[in-house]
């Protein structure tokens, strides 16, 4: 890395980056605390994660100007792990997740992300929105009706304050106002302090306190895989959004590796696994953040504020955080996908909905993605396996030509063969493959089958219009599958 | 006589009404006119478009596609045209571009908002009228 690139990636937009970094830090604090509570760990775990991930990514990430930290998507995957095995296993899982993500980056697998269909991605964000929303409902249990008033007030301020000023994050104003109200009026609602410990100290390096054996690996590996998928999915999606917002390209493999390094470091410093954040990244770019400096500033300011203001932060009522999370849920959900659902192909809409349902039922975003991808593959195979065969007699019924339209491969040969009439008594059969393509040995097998069937009657078969690749395949495999009993 | 005109569009019906209005206005001297369309992609539409299309390159192409009919419509009327796509907040981006590129006039369609909405929300057209340094036409 030359001095010029360092300058370009860090110091071309110092004022904008410092200001947006501060804005993002203020918006990150409530989210990091709320996501910790979703995951079932102390608020410090999410705050350490957001600090450490933001700072590490600033140096090793592939998408300058993007904000990463503790996220809802990741927190949702961890819930059962934390509940069953505790924090130490979560830290070990975080490190393993990081290692897997580093491998993903090293093997340059980011290019495969484009094979994840759009409908699955949309299902992913919609499910994420729904889960973040439902995870807030527990804060309404066993509370007086005041919680509804406070949550309502929080949301009102969040959505209306931007009309007065867009420079200060409205979530911050909402939290400050609602906290002051709750404290001064002595409203009896739960606050952050009731949810777990918040220490005013910097994170320190420590090895996770777990037995290093296969049993541990058996416990943490499935979670690490799920976190790896979810983290990379959201990070690379966010990177693409930031690419588009800034009209610049980014290195997705470097970003995957960077996310991995950030998670490894975070695991050792007592933080939970995280990834890039769509909402925060949009806030960052909108507030003028462009380079690597803004996430660095965001992370450092966040930690500074926690150390200075830790005693005040514990007084924030959960009602205010629930309000912020409901806003995050609404912002995460892709409303456009609902308003335009009648315009997309029905299969896309169904895949999106099934992805959402799978996540909502299993509470695991990774399962939703896998189900969606698998379903899309089946739908694709069904769609592409449609073959149309049209037979026409020539020369007063002595010859017949079959026009084949579609892809010939294992899933489509049955339909293809059904279109051929073997009872015909002919002098010659011509198969026109101009609008077709042979893909595998099943396709060649089908052609051999036709040939041998007609041979029994002494009818020769001629192929016309084979494209280059199909012809090569036929030459390579044609002999071997002949008379193989297809 | 406005020869170099910038028209802010969001691809909606309001903007196509504005285009028709401009074409009517410049009809007598249309050979000397350039009517550039400007479209600004904000953060929310960035998110929507990337989710729908995958990456910035596809999103870029789709946006150009979206306006290709409009561009040929304007060209068919004998007026030179071009499409400018910028990223950010619409009002400041359009203002900055218009002021830098020395347009004679900026045209914008106004949305049918009621009094209360205008009071609370303000509007892109209002900000443009205020900060663009050349004449601005707001097409109702």
**How close does chain B come to A307, measured CA to CA in Å?**
33
Contacts of A244 in chain B (CB under 8 A): 41, 46, 49-50, 55-56, 59-60, 87
Torsion angles phi and psi, residue A74, rounded to 5 = -70, -45
Distance spanning both ends of chain A, measured CA to CA = 60
**How close does chain B come to A419, measured CA to CA in Å?**
37
Does B120 contact A163 at a Cβ distance shorter than 8 Å?
yes
Q: How many CA atoms lie within 13 A of B64 on its CB side?
A: 7
Contacts of B44 in chain A (CB under 8 A): 282
The closest alpha carbon to A481, from A453, A454, A457, A446, belongs to A446
- pLDDT tens, position by position, A407-448: 898 888 888 998 898 888 888 999 999 989 888 888 888 998
Using 50, 70 and 90 to split pLDDT, how confident is the model at A44? very high
Structure tokens at B128: 């443009």
Q: Which residue has the tokens 């097998």?
A: A445
Task: Return the number of other C-beta atoms located less than 10 Å from residue B106's C-beta.
Answer: 26
Asked if CATH classification 3.30.750.24 holds for the domain at A388-481, the reply, yes or no, is yes
Closest residue of chain A to B56, computed from CA coordinates: A244
**How close does chain B come to A247, measured CA to CA in Å?**
7
Torsion angles phi and psi, residue A480, rounded to 5 = -70, -35
Q: Are the C-beta atoms of residues A334 and A54 closer than 8 Å to each other?
A: no
Closest residue of chain A to B54, computed from CA coordinates: A118
Of B51, B88, B122, the CB nearest to A125: B51
Q: What share of chain A is helix, strand, coil (3-state, %, to 5)?
A: 65, 10, 25
Sheet architecture: strand order including B105-109: B80-87, B34-41, B4-8, B105-109, B136-139
**How close does chain B come to A20, measured CA to CA in Å?**
15
- CA atoms of A51 and A30, how far apart (whole Å): 13
- pLDDT tens, position by position, A195-223: 887 887 888 888 898 998 999 999 999 99
pLDDT, position A189: 83
SS (H, E, C) B86-112: EECCHHHHHHHHHHHCCCCEEEEECCC
- CA atoms of A470 and A464, how far apart (whole Å): 11
Q: Are the C-beta atoms of residues B42 and B90 closer than 8 Å to each other?
A: yes
Domain containing residue B24: 4-139
Domain ranges of chain A: 9-378, 388-481
Q: Are the C-beta atoms of residues A433 and A446 closer than 8 Å to each other?
A: no
Structure tokens at A315: 């007084």
- pLDDT tens, position by position, A111-170: 888 788 889 999 999 999 999 999 999 888 877 888 899 999 999 999 999 888 877 788
Strand, coil or helix: A5: helix
- CA atoms of A272 and A95, how far apart (whole Å): 9
Domain count across chain B? 1
CA-angle at B88, arms to B82 and B89, nearest 5°: 100
Using 50, 70 and 90 to split pLDDT, how confident is the model at A61? very high
Rg from Cα positions in chain A: 29
Closest residue of chain A to B60, computed from CA coordinates: A244
ipTM associated with this complex:
0.83
Q: Are the C-beta atoms of residues A306 and A54 closer than 8 Å to each other?
A: no
**Residue B122 pLDDT more than 50?**
yes
Q: Are the C-beta atoms of residues A48 and A328 closer than 8 Å to each other?
A: no
Of A243, A285, A337, the CB nearest to B55: A243
Environment class of A311 (CB within 10 Å of its CB; exposed 0-12, middle 13-18, buried 19+): exposed
User: What average pLDDT does the structure give for chain A?
Assistant: 90
Does A237 contact B50 at a Cβ distance shorter than 8 Å?
yes
- CA atoms of B109 and B136, how far apart (whole Å): 11
Does A336 contact B87 at a Cβ distance shorter than 8 Å?
no
pLDDT, position B114: 52
Q: Are the C-beta atoms of residues A15 and A30 closer than 8 Å to each other?
A: no
Contacts of A233 in chain B (CB under 8 A): none
Q: Are the C-beta atoms of residues B20 and B120 closer than 8 Å to each other?
A: no
**How close does chain A come to B41, measured CA to CA in Å?**
8
Contacts of B60 in chain A (CB under 8 A): 244
The answer for residues whose C-beta is within 8 angstroms of residue A324's C-beta and 6 or more apart is A30, A31, A34, A154, A158, A171, A174, A175
Q: Which residue has the tokens 């409303």?
A: A335
Environment class of A453 (CB within 10 Å of its CB; exposed 0-12, middle 13-18, buried 19+): middle
Residue A241 contacts B where some CB pair is shorter than 8 Å: yes
**pTM above the 0.90 mark?**
no
- CA atoms of B78 and B81, how far apart (whole Å): 9
Q: Is residue B102 left, alpha or beta, with left meaning phi > 0 and alpha meaning psi from -120 to 50?
A: left
Does B56 contact A240 at a Cβ distance shorter than 8 Å?
yes
């Amino acid at each position: 890395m030359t001095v010029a690139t360092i300058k370009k990636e860090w110091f071309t937009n110092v004022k904008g980056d410092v200001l947006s970094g501060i804005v993002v830090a203020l918006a990150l604090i409530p989210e990091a605390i709320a996501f910790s509570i979703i995951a079932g760990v102390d608020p410090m775990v999410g705050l350490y994660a957001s600090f450490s991930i933001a700072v590490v990514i600033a140096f090793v990430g592939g998408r300058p100007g993007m904000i990463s930290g503790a996220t809802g998507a990741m927190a949702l995957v961890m819930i059962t792990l934390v509940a069953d095995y505790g924090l130490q296993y979560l830290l070990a899982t975080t490190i393993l997740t990081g290692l897997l993500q580093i491998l993903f980056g090293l093997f340059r697998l980011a290019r495969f992300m484009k094979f994840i269909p759009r409908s699955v991605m949309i299902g992913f964000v919609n499910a994420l929105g729904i889960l973040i929303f439902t995870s807030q409902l527990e804060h309404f249990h066993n509370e007086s009706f005041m919680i509804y008033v406070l949550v309502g007030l929080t949301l009102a301020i969040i959505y209306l304050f931007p009309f007065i000023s867009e420079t200060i994050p409205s979530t911050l104003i909402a939290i400050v106002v609602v906290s002051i109200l709750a404290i001064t009026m002595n409203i009896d609602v739960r606050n952050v302090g009731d949810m777990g410990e918040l220490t005013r100290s910097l994170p320190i390096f420590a090895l996770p306190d777990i037995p290093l054996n296969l049993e541990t690996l058996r416990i943490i590996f499935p979670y690490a895989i799920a976190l790896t998928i979810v983290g990379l999915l959201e990070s690379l999606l966010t990177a693409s959004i930031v690419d588009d917002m800034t009209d610049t390209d980014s290195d997705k493999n470097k970003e995957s590796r960077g996310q991995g390094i950030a998670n490894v470091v975070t695991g050792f410093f007592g933080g939970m696994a995280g990834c890039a954040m769509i909402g925060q990244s949009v806030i960052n770019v909108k507030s003028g953040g462009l380079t690597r400096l803004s996430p660095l500033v965001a992370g450092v300011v966040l930690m500074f504020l926690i150390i200075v203001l830790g005693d005040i932060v514990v007084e924030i009522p959960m009602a205010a955080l629930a309000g912020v999370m409901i806003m995050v849920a609404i912002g995460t959900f892709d409303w456009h996908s609902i308003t335009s659902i009648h315009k997309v192909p029905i299969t896309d809409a169904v895949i999106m909905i099934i992805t959402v349902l799978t996540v909502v039922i299993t509470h695991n975003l990774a399962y939703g993605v896998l189900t969606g991808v698998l379903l899309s593959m089946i739908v694709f195979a069904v769609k592409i396996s449609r073959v149309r065969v049209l037979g026409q007699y020539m020369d007063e019924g002595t010859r017949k030509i079959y026009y084949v339209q579609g892809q010939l491969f294992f899933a489509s040969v049955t339909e293809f063969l059904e279109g051929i009439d073997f009872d015909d008594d002919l002098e010659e059969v011509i198969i026109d493959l101009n609008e077709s393509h042979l893909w595998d040995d099943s396709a060649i097998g089908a052609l051999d089958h036709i040939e041998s069937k007609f041979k029994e009657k002494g009818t020769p078969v001629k192929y016309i219009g084979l494209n280059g690749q199909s012809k090569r395949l036929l030459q390579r495999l044609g002999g071997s599958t002949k008379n193989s009993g297809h | 006589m406005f020869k170099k005109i910038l028209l802010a569009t969001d691809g909606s019906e309001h903007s196509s009404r504005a285009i028709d209005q401009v074409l009517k206005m410049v009809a007598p001297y249309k050979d000397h006119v350039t009517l550039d369309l400007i479209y600004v992609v904000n953060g929310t539409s960035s998110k929507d478009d990337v989710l729908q299309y995958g990456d910035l390159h596809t999103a870029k192409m789709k946006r150009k596609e979206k306006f290709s009919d409009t561009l040929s419509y304007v060209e068919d009327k004998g007026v030179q045209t071009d499409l400018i796509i910028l990223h950010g907040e619409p009002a400041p981006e359009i203002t900055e571009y218009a002021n830098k590129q020395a347009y004679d006039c900026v045209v914008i369609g106004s949305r049918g908002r009621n009094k209360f909405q205008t009071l609370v929300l303000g509007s892109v057209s209002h900000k443009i009228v205020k900060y663009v340094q050349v004449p601005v036409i707001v097409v109702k």
